Structure 1
Amino acid sequence: MKLYLTVLLMIFNVSIYSQNQFQQFINYVNSLPDPASKQTAVDSFIVYARTQGIPFITGDSANFIYRGNVSLISIAGDFNGWTPNWNMINLSGTNFWYYSKVFESDARLDYKFVRNGNDWILDPENPRQVIGGFGPNSELAMPDYVQPWEINYRSNISHGTIVNRTIYSTNVGAYYQLKIYLPPGYDSTSTERYPTVYFQDGFEYITLGNAVNVIDNLIDSNKINPVIAVFVKPNNRNEEYAGSLRVNYRLFFVNELVPYIDSNFKTIPSAEKRLVLGDSFGGNISALISYNHPEIFGYCGLHSGALWPNNYEAYNLIVNGPVKNIKWCSVWGTYEGSLPSNMRNFRDFLLQNNYQLNWEERHEGHSWGLWRATTDNMLLFFSPFEPNSVGSNNENIPDDFFLYQNFPNPFNPSTKISWRSSVGSWQTLKIFDVLGNEVATLVNEYREAGIYEVEFSNADTEQALSLPSGVYIYKLTADSPLSSLGQNFVSSKKMIIIK
């Protein structure tokens, strides 16, 4: 065993990011004289691969691996429309199966294995999973994919409160279940009022999209203003969002639900302070609601918005109708069939007609893995934090240092970088390429304790930059020793420029 492991390590240490690394292993096993030697080599490789992560990534290739006695094993996922037609290859003389495929460096995709044509299973060697509408899936995350920190529950922060309500709709003739998020510190007797976010597929945005965690974390980190969130559970999703009940449901939303929320909770009753958003068909009904009622909803969020039902009713209504006072946020994945083409056309129309639009296209599929990681896009666009001035008011002084993820990300041509500092210090914020070469200095000065934000533009004439597409690193350094850390503060994060 040690001999084979040593040989394997020699192979893989030659060029740890070499694209043909995995093929070298395959060639090596095929050169061995007997099944016992081959199986021992496979066992050694599995031990090594587990330390690197499976699927085993070499360069821009993901190498899917399965070990077991089967007659056929295939892969289905976001990348092939969930059709199990990627048949894995058996390494002769072993029970080792593999399939190699090139993906974008920042791709994130759901998949499953299918044994013997009908047994759908998770990848037993991959601990990373994403919960979807049909249960958990295994996750392929390429090296430049940045996992969403904001979806995780954090016990050391303040949390909002969820209250349950039921409302009857005379327009639809049905009861609807609601979960209403009230931000930390919410007081029904206070004069303070809040913006409101309405979620289609609301309960799934909580259970599958981690939306409550996202809101809690964004409020705690001063990324957004506190909001009230209304999570609405559909009764007959397809009919209410895209079928025969879509008009009734739209009227329920604007004539019954919004007045109910405004009269029972401390909302700001203004279109500029209301966002309606949804995924897939939920995006379709959100677009119909906002475009038909811009006096109620001034913001609309589309997570992979499926605007094609009823002969592209929502799409054609907006594209062929008058420009209205609506701000849009749209996110979609390149692995969503024909949807990316439709959403690019929709994006281009909105921009050409001077709609305010925040959009992002990711190398992902039609899944909650994409939507849960980009709910923050919608919220940041809708209600970005407005920091109070820092002075003799100690409540506004942060209690630690923190560097936030830039937004939007990926971006073209500009993005915003924000951070908080607990003490006054000399601070530098610099941009580097992946080789460590400095390409820009955004901040190099003494700053008091506070919350700060700067804009980085790849087309800024002062910076005279025109950086190529790719991954870059931004790094914040504060030279004042921090008592909690015992050292200077240094933090860096990845950002992606697209063109």
Structure 2
Amino acid sequence: MKLYLTIALLILVATVNAQNQFQQFINYVTSLPDPTSKQTAVDSFIVYARTQGIPFITGDSASFIYRGNVSSISIAGDFNGWTPNWNMTNLSGTNFWYYSKVFESDARLDYKFVRNGTDWILDPENPRQVSGGFGPNSELAMPEYIQPWEINYRSNIPHGTIVNKTIYSINVGAYYQLRIYLPPGYDSTSAERYPTVYFQDGFEYITLGSAVNVIDNLIDSNKINPVIAVFVRPNNRNEEYAGSVRVQYRLFFVNELVPYIDASFKTIPSADKRLVLGDSFGGNISALISYNHPEVFGYCGLHSGAFWPNNYEAYNLVINGPVKNIKWCSVWGTYEGSLPANMRNFRDFLLQNNYQLSWEERHEGHSWGLWRATIDNMLIFFSPFEPNSIESGDMGLLNKFYLDLNYPNPFNPTTKIRFAVPQNEKRETRNVTLKVYDVSGNEVATLVNEEKPAGTYEVEFNAPQLSSGIYFYKLTAGNNSATRKMILLK
């Protein structure tokens, strides 16, 4: 009997339409006559679901699954403000609980289960986890979500070095711990100098955001120029980033920290070569620092910038003040309560006032899963790779093939795409194509189709006739090819 039920269930889940797979399973188990048969079917389904991934995704629906003897179990996560009010349903006659919900095809969200109203646990059937400020969370990643390759440590590439320092602030009256990233090949005796990136919540950007791995990987893959990164650990982030010490902390940053870094390391001491960025309240203080001191920081990065402190002080300062020479990069998630509306308004103001801006809204929540996957957005916006010695015959560079992220992205209706063509053994030209496709794979534009010598190039894509949506651009040069995604938003 058990074997028969197992075979019947596997035939069922393998043959029904994917969109209906899970509901068909529920209907099938409900129709069985006794608890033993039902539990056998549940056990068989769990085995099958593990091969597909749990939560069990069918079409645009994700089904959360729990098996165990509990009186109740609910779900809390980015999707409901971490309030455990998604109550799972018990499949009568079994110890199987479930909850199904429709999500965007590229959504990525953190969650946990809450057993019996008080016991918060990770999803025991889901091996995918993301570290957060309060420990690890289980991760729901819908089929079109692309996991960030750049956060992973790669042993076969050059790595930067970390220098630990401590600095005393007269303005704040406190010591601050620093970790300074020096890029591969850094030589304190050479004439070469580097752009500098300053991270609020710096140590968490390293431990939770994998920022060092990101920088190493972006440098190695010619996505960014080598940079020096300064990771600053706050003492009391709420007070320093948004509360009673925010002014003193801002002055520490521009009058004490930056001069110290410029005097100690081979930086380029110029506002257009400095980026300050942060997450949540860290974005709030970053905006206050850059807008009050554009002569020090010409770039500002906002990871889900929380602008509500002090009656939206930072937001109103920018919105109501004069336009300043600052370039902005902003990333936020649709599952962040009221924050997306604020960030959209902020975006619209910046664009209307001709600020240079790179922005992205993802189907994610207020989490390190979002921020770690978009550090690259900010670094590429700040310091995109610029090979400056192709003409002088630098063979490391001549043999590199790369396709940059388009800028700006999203765009309307014009964006620029940069790429490099490697030199072949005979130093001959080669046919290069750069084409644009829609999500169905239909070619919508050919930007390049000609013989080109080794070198770096930039082309403009103008799309007034296309509708808003996701498009892909593909570069082919000889045996090399690469594809990237861009968003047209009208």
* TM bracket (short chain): over 0.9
Measure, in 1, the Cα distance between the counterparts of 2:5 and 2:486.
39
AA aligned to 1:21 is Q
Which of 426, 429, 433 matches 2:431?
426
Q: Establish whether residue 299 from structure 1 lines up as the match of residue 299 from structure 2.
A: yes
Partner of residue 128, structure 2: 128
Contact 2:473–2:483 (8 Å) recurs in 1: yes
- Work out whether 1:382 is the aligned partner of 2:378: no
Match of 2:395 in 1: 394
**Contact 2:334/2:362, CA 8 A, preserved across alignment:** yes
Q: Distance in 1 between matches of 2:64 and 2:411?
A: 30
- 2:449 corresponds, among 432, 439, 444, to 444
Query: What's the offset of the Cα at 1:491?
Result: 4.8
Partner of 1:324: 324
Per the normalisation by structure 1, the TM-score is: 0.91
CA contact (8 A) 2:60 2:105 kept: yes
Structure 1 equivalent of residue 67 of structure 2: 67
After TM superposition, the score normalised by the length of structure 2 is 0.92
Structure 1 residue 13 displacement after superposition: 3.9
Letter in 2 for 1:37: S
Give structure 1 stretches of 5+ with no counterpart. Answer: 460-464, 480-487
> For residues 309 and 412 of structure 1, what CA distance do their matches in structure 2 show?
32
Tell me how far apart the structure 2 counterparts of residues 9 and 434 of structure 1 sit (CA, whole Å).
Answer: 33
Deviates more, 1:343-352 or 1:247-256: 343-352
C-alpha contact (below 8 Å) 2:421/2:477 kept by paired residues: no
1:243 is aligned to 2:243: yes
Kindly state the Cα deviation for residue 429 of structure 1 after the two structures are TM-superposed: 3.5
Alignment of 1:170-209 (within 5 A): 170-209=170-209
CA change 1:87–1:197 in 2 (3 A) is same
Partners of 1:290 and 1:10 in 2: CA distance: 61
Deviation at 1:48, TM superposition (A): 1.5
CA contact (8 A) 1:388 1:396 kept: no
Does structure 1 residue 309 correspond to structure 2 residue 309? yes
For the pair 1:168 / 2:168, whether they are aligned, the reply is: yes
Instruction: Sort the Cα spacing of 1:8 and 1:420 in 2 relative to 1 into closer, same or farther, 3 A.
Output: farther
Q: Deviations over 1:139-164 (max 9, x none)?
A: 11111111111111111111111100
Determine if contact 2:408/2:416 at 8 Å carries over to the other structure.
yes
**C-alpha displacement at 1:180, in angstroms?**
0.3
The CA deviation string for residues 343-394 of structure 1, in whole angstroms up to 9 with x for no partner, is 1111111112221111111111100011111111111111111123535431
The one-letter amino acid paired with 2:250 is R
Does the residue aligned with 2:436 lie in a helix, a strand or coil? Answer: strand
Decide whether aligned partners of structure 1 residues 66 and 406 sit closer, same or farther in structure 2, where only a CA change above 3 A counts: farther
> CA-to-partner distance for each residue in 1:443-463, whole Å, 9 max, x for gaps?
33334445555454433xxxx
What residue in structure 2 maps to residue 24 of structure 1? 24
Cα deviation digits, residues 195-246 of structure 1 (max 9, x gap) = 1111000000000011111111111111111111100000011111111111
Contact 1:198–1:277 (CA<8 Å) still a contact in 2?
yes
Give the equivalent residue in structure 2 for 1:484.
none
- CA 1:158–1:110 in structure 2 vs 1: closer, same or farther (change >3 Å)? same
Percent of aligned pairs with the same amino acid? 80
Task: Quote the residue 1:462 is aligned against.
Answer: none
- Which stretch of the first structure deviates more once superposed, 347-356 or 254-263? 347-356
Aligned length: 483
Q: CA offset at residue 327 of structure 1?
A: 1.1
1:321, distance to aligned residue in structure 2 (A)? 1.3
User: Whole-Å Cα distance in 2 between the matches of residues 354 and 490 of structure 1?
Assistant: 35
Pairwise CA RMSD of aligned residues? 2.2
- The separation in 2 between residues aligned to 1:63 and 1:70, in whole angstroms, is 19
Give the Cα–Cα distance (whole angstroms) in 2 for the partners of residues 497 and 9 of structure 1.
42
Once residues 423 and 36 of structure 2 are traced to their aligned partners in structure 1, the CA distance between those partners, rounded to angstroms, is 61
* CA distance in 1 between partners of 2:206 and 2:323 (Å): 33
1:469-480 alignment runs, 5 A limit: 469-470=469-470, 472-479=471-478
Assess if the C-alpha contact under 8 Å between 2:421 and 2:453 holds in 1.
Answer: no
3-state SS of paired residue (1:184): coil
Which residue of 2 is the match for residue 154 of structure 1? 154
> In structure 1, what residue type is equivalent to 2:327?
K
Q: 1:186 aligns to what SS in structure 2? A: coil
Amino acid at match of 1:231: F
Q: Distance in 1 between matches of 2:70 and 2:411?
A: 45
**8 Å CA contact 1:377, 1:408 repeated in 2:** no
Asked whether the equivalents of residues 417 and 456 of structure 1 are also in contact (C-alpha less than 8 Å), the reply is: no
In the other structure, the counterpart of 2:8 is 7
Q: How far has the Cα of 1:92 moved from its partner? A: 0.9
